[in-house]
Amino acid sequence: MNVKKFTAATSREALRKVRDALGPDAVILSNRPVDGVVEILALDNDDVASLAAPAPGSDMAQPQPRLDLNAFEPEAPSFTNRRAAATAATPEQIYAARRAPQTDDFAAEPVYATRRAAQPLPEERDFAAEHSYANRRAPQPEPAFDMAAMTSMMSAAIAQAKESAAQEMSGMMSELRAMRGMMETQLAEMSWGGTQQREPQKAAVLREMLAAGFSASLSRYLIDKMPANKDAAEAMRWIKTVLARNLTTMADEDNLLDKGGVFALVGPTGVGKTTTTAKLAARCVMRHGPEKLALITTDAYRIGGHEQLRIYGKILGVMVHSVKDEADLRIALKELKNKHTVLIDTIGMSQRDQMVTEQVAMLTGAGADVKRLLCLNATSTNETLAEVVRAYQGSGLHGCIMTKLDEAASIGNVLDVVIRQKLNLHYISNGQRVPEDLHLADRAMLVDRAFRGRRDGANQYEDADLPLMMAGTGNVHKDESLREVRFG
């Protein structure tokens, strides 16, 4: 027997292979899927015919001998013969036999008794032979049904299906987001290219804002809202007015110095917190005297960090207290509750350090209303300043102080973050002198300083570069930080 196997991707292809190899009369033995393909076992029709006919020379091929019925000796009459014999008797004979007395002579036994005697006794019958087919056809007992195992299997199958569906959905959503971002980028680039050709004054304003350090998203948002039919000079005046209107500053420091309270200066390392604390302390001493002021430092990590503040305190005649943790800070604030103003100089750390959260929690849980003032380095980029604000935001900042103004080439980056994060700008620090180099924030001056310092840098952006820079601002009108910008 020559059984051949055929495999293909589908049943139709597999049957085609069988027909090509064995002909249309081939016999299909099995058809089943195996490892992602269809497997067919087939046999040639000639091989089937050879199986049906016995092989020459075998016992099955030899002629069977014929039976000679005369060679057998007569046996006892069968049940059928007995029935025939009983039927041949006349009714009178049957009645006489039944009425005759019973004897031990089995030859004279009535026909009815003979028929009854011909049946074997129940214990003599072969019940195994009689009930063998019934026993084979009888239904077999089913195995016990385990409901708990079935429920567990179903739960596992459902969980696996959900996980697979979630993975497929996540992949599909990622592809859709990537496709959407690509389309938004291309549409934003095309849109700005058309705007640049129709209104060239907007391109000039955009170059000025980018050179001043403002972000592309804020610049694009303001330019889109700018009224039409304005020349370059009028457009720049409108931009400066809108920026100044949305820049929140402290108009009078009396609200800070006269009201008093507990203030903590926070920020990254090297931003100038200790020097700014000394400048604020000098202003408080000049207004209320040294007895109304107290200084606290938590900078026990930096070598000589608390010594610098102690030197300033000695010059001002103010006691400096050093604390290590929240418990010490609670005790110090409780002892200094009769002071008009308490300034806390905190340890500087990176905005990506997890200790920032612990520091914010320590100041929040100090048992007093500690107002946090964030020091922003004017020399940092937009992205860095945005990270700093998010890290030190906590439950809310009381305000911010711009430091290192004298070292910054452009300050549009700081103004951009202050506007978008809705911060209250209190002071500006532009040097190391105490207390001369600390000034109240003037928003009109700051906006003018931002554009005046980088007026020549606007020429570094070519018209061909502007569409590429605007390509990432396709969803600028969906930015939550820009929705509260005031234009009038």
Residue 238 in any domain: the answer is no
**Higher per-residue pLDDT: 81 or 208:** 208
Angle between helices 443-453 and 232-245 (to 10 degrees): 140
Exposure of 66 by Cβ count < 10 A (0-12 exposed, 13-18 middle, 19+ buried)? exposed
**Higher per-residue pLDDT: 136 or 488:** 488
Residue range 374-384: mean pLDDT, rounded? 91
Q: In angstroms, rounded to a whole number, what is the distance separating the alpha carbons of residues 203 and 219?
A: 11
Please give the pLDDT value at position 104.
Answer: 46
Query: Residue 76's pLDDT band (boundaries 50, 70, 90)?
Result: very low
Q: In angstroms, rounded to a whole number, what is the distance separating the alpha carbons of residues 359 and 341?
A: 21
With contact defined as beta carbons under 8 Å apart, do 428 and 168 qualify? no
Could you read off the pLDDT of 146-159 as tens digits, one per residue? 678 878 888 888 88
Query: Residue 377's pLDDT band (boundaries 50, 70, 90)?
Result: very high
* Listed residue (173, 182, 175) closest to 475, CA to CA: 182
Kindly give, in sequence order, each residue whose CB lies less than 8 Å from that of residue 294, ignoring residues fewer than 6 positions away: 318, 319, 321, 336, 339, 341, 342, 343
Please give the pLDDT value at position 84.
Answer: 47
Q: In angstroms, rounded to a whole number, what is the distance separating the alpha carbons of residues 399 and 372?
A: 7
Q: Is the predicted pLDDT of residue 44 greater than 90, yes or no?
A: no
What value does the CA radius of gyration of the chain take, rounded to a whole number of Å? 52
Q: Where are the alpha helices (DSSP H) in 199-215?
A: 200-212
Count other Cβ atoms within 10 Å, centred on residue 226: 18
**Higher per-residue pLDDT: 174 or 474:** 174
Please give the pLDDT value at position 401.
Answer: 93
Residue 435 in any domain: the answer is yes
Please give the pLDDT value at position 434.
Answer: 86
Angle between helices 200-212 and 216-225 (to 10 degrees): 150
Q: Is the predicted pLDDT of residue 39 greater than 50, yes or no?
A: yes
Q: In angstroms, rounded to a whole number, what is the distance separating the alpha carbons of residues 428 and 411?
A: 11
Residue 230 in any domain: the answer is no
Residue 385 in any domain: the answer is yes
Could you read off the pLDDT of 85-111 as tens digits, one per residue? 445 556 556 556 565 555 444 444 444
Could you read off the pLDDT of 269-291 as tens digits, one per residue? 888 888 999 999 999 999 888 89
Please give the pLDDT value at position 209.
Answer: 85
Please give the pLDDT value at position 311.
Answer: 86
Reported as type and span, the H/E element at residue 8 is: strand 3-8
Phi, psi of 431 (to 5 degrees): 170, -175
Share of the chain above pLDDT 70, in %: 68
With contact defined as beta carbons under 8 Å apart, do 260 and 341 qualify? yes
Query: Residue 265's pLDDT band (boundaries 50, 70, 90)?
Result: very high
Range of the domain at 411: 251-440
Q: In angstroms, rounded to a whole number, what is the distance separating the alpha carbons of residues 306 and 441?
A: 28
Which tokens belong to 223?
Answer: 């330019």
Q: Is the predicted pLDDT of residue 18 greater than 70, yes or no?
A: yes
Q: Domain containing 274 — which CATH number? A: 3.40.50.300
Query: Does the global pTM surpass 0.85?
Result: no
Q: Which of 440, 458, 478 is the last residue of a domain?
A: 440
DSSP-derived pairing of the beta strands 341-345 and 261-266: parallel
Kindly give, in sequence order, each residue whose CB lies less than 8 Å from that of residue 203, ignoring residues fewer than 6 positions away: 196, 463, 466
Largest CA distance in the chain: 158
Number of domains in the chain: 2
Q: In angstroms, rounded to a whole number, what is the distance separating the alpha carbons of residues 330 and 368?
A: 8
Q: Which of 401-415, 446-460, 474-488 has the highest mean pLDDT?
A: 401-415
Residue 397 in any domain: the answer is yes
Q: Give me the chain's average pLDDT, please.
A: 76
Residue 462 in any domain: the answer is no
Q: Which of 418, 440, 462 is the last residue of a domain?
A: 440
DSSP state for residue 268 in the 8-state scheme: S
Residue 101 in any domain: the answer is no
Residue 176 in any domain: the answer is no
Q: In angstroms, rounded to a whole number, what is the distance separating the alpha carbons of residues 276 and 274?
A: 5
